[in-house]
Amino acid sequence: MRRLRKVKIVATLGPSSSSPEMMTRLFNAGADVFRINMSHTSHDRMRELVASIRGIEKEVGRPIGILVDLQGPKLRLGRFADGAVMVEKGQRFILDADPTPGDKTRVHLPHPEILEALEPGHHLLLDDGKVKLLAISSTPTQTVTEVVVGGRLSDRKGVSLPDTLIATSAMTAKDHADLAAALETGCEWIALSFVQRPEDITEATDIIQGRAAVMTKIEKPQAIDRLAEIIALSDALMVARGDLGVEMPIEKVPGLQKQMTRACRRAGKPVIVATQMLESMITQPTPTRAETSDVATAVFEGADAIMLSAESAAGAYPTEAVAMMDSIARSVESDPYYRSILDAQRAEPESTPADAISAAARQVAETLDLAAIICWTSGGTTGRRAARERPKTPIIALTPNVDTSRRLTLVWGVHSILAPDAHDLDDMVDRACAFSHDEGFAIDGDRVIISAGVPLRTPGATNMLRIAVIEGGFKS
């Protein structure tokens, strides 16, 4: 099955989409990667979902990526004696270490690390920003705040800290257990939530040891301050606009989305734009015009993937949401302005043989109007470098490694194929031509360009280009 678009679609699984039949429908509608949200999924259920996806993969004959999204630390208030209170603008309100149920003057904050980190002048956002507090004074056992925006507070509401760097790990005990279970299933991608600093990523990569690729979710303002370091340590980035929009002025999020998308493109790292992309389709069969434009903007920017959350996990129209996202993406990619926008943002290749080869492959393919750029890749680096160029020419990535073929389902424009390893250079060219013909990218008489590393089976050693003409499904 060949997708008629470059950008990839990530669909979150949930109550509306967890049966094998529905997952098959979502794949056929356009989903390339399935996301499993560990905030709402047990280990046994995760294993069942992974097994179902692998079964669908065999049926459709195409690799399907799996993204396991760790919950991360959930910061919440304690409980109130009456279940809820109203706090008024201008009043004092205390957060403390006392577990006694709260009232309208105070409440327990069961996170000593927050009380230790808070300083006067720091803001606290409660219940997704509906209530806003300003710290007036703080000790390791109590923080006195002023209510800046009042409202209703009830038991266990969430706490966001846009100004505060908390000296704790981004991975909780639950995350460690979920990560171990996810790695046992052989999933391709692990998403880290609420990352604040590079050290949060190295903690996870030390555990993962290359068994899965690491995706960092950017949803904390503190992560923006160290974005370059975080991108360097990550295999991919997710622009998690929901939480990011709670913890910082919402009007800054669109600009940061562009900044992160372009930074990832320069680095050759996949980037997903996520959260509320087609939110109204949770309950309605069609999106709003604003949502349609939001999805289109991410595609115009050259994001590798766009993601559905509750729309596919718990909505009434999961298949329609995927199909709509697919339709919007294909429409954008056929727009006359799309190519000029992508080309204007293309980064210069790095001064390495592999980057130079990938840039040359794009230039040759577009100059000669070739049918496909075909990359032989072991770990996926060659395929990602080809995608970094955002070529007009289709990209085919051939790999003997099933994990690599699945990871590349997230990468812009890459049609990944699990293929037996080539014996020698001639066999490599023959197989490349045969696959491009069989997968519908080329017909007899078409020319393709092939990139690979010589000697063969040397990861990251892309150093060869070869132009071949298809004849009877093979080179001539």
Q: How far apart are CA 9 and CA 65, in angstroms?
A: 11
**Per-residue pLDDT tens over the stretch 357-397:** 999 999 999 999 999 999 999 999 999 999 999 999 999 99
* Cβ atoms 263, 228 nearer than 8 A: yes
Cα 360 off chain centre by? 28
Look up residue 15 and give its two tokens. Answer: 């109550």
**CATH number of 84-160, picked from 3.40.190.10, 1.20.1260.10, 2.60.40.1180, 2.40.33.10:** 2.40.33.10
Cβ burial of 334 (10 Å; 0-12, 13-18, 19+) is: exposed
The two tokens of residue 395 are 């990209």
Q: Express the helix, strand and coil content of the chain in percent, nearest 5 each.
A: 40, 25, 35
CA distance 121 to 136: 6
Mean pLDDT, rounded, for 70-88: 95
Distance CA(233)–CA(212), nearest Å, equals: 14
Across 339-375, b (16+ Cβ under 10 Å) vs e yields eeebeebbbebeeeebbebbbebbebbeeeebbbbbb
Tell me what pLDDT residue 350 has.
84
- Give pLDDT, residue 183: 98
CATH of 353-475, one of 3.30.365.10, 1.10.3720.10, 3.40.1380.20, 3.40.190.10: 3.40.1380.20
The whole-number pLDDT of residue 128 equals: 87
pTM of the model: 0.93
Q: What pLDDT does residue 457 have?
A: 64
Across 97-125, average pLDDT? 96
Beta strand spans in 275-360 (E)? 305-308
- 463 or 328, higher pLDDT: 328
So what CATH class is 8-73+170-333? Answer: alpha beta
Count CB-CB contacts under 10 A for residue 247: 20
CA 259 to mean position of chain CA atoms: 15
- Decide if pLDDT at 198 tops 90: yes
Confidence grade of residue 320 (pLDDT, cut at 50, 70, 90):
very high
Catalytic residue annotation = 35, 76, 217, 275
Domain extent listing, the chain:
8-73+170-333, 84-160, 353-475
Amino acid symbol at 415: H
Specify the 3-state DSSP secondary structure of 337.
coil
The token pair at 193 is 């939530």
Contact criterion met (CB below 8 Å) for 444 and 470: yes
* DSSP secondary structure of 184-209: HHT-SEEEEPS--SHHHHHHHHHHHT
- Note the pLDDT tens digit of each residue in 128-175: 899 999 999 999 999 999 999 999 999 999 999 999 998 878 899 999
- Per the DSSP assignment, residues forming a β-bridge with 124 are 133
* 368 in Cβ contact with 468 (< 8 Å): no
Backbone angles phi, psi at 437, to 5 degrees: -75, -50
For 274, the enclosing helix (H) or strand (E) is strand 271-274
Contact 364, 447 (CB under 8 A): no
CA 467 – CA 365 distance, rounded (Å): 9
What's the confidence (pLDDT) of residue 459? Answer: 66
Q: What is the mean pLDDT of residues 299-328?
A: 98
Percent of the chain scored above 90 by pLDDT?
A: 88
* Predicted local distance difference test score (pLDDT) of residue 476: 45
Backbone angles phi, psi at 84, to 5 degrees: -160, 155
Q: What is the pLDDT of residue 471?
A: 87
pLDDT digits (tens, 9 = 90+) for 434-457: 999 999 999 999 999 999 877 766
pLDDT at 421: 86
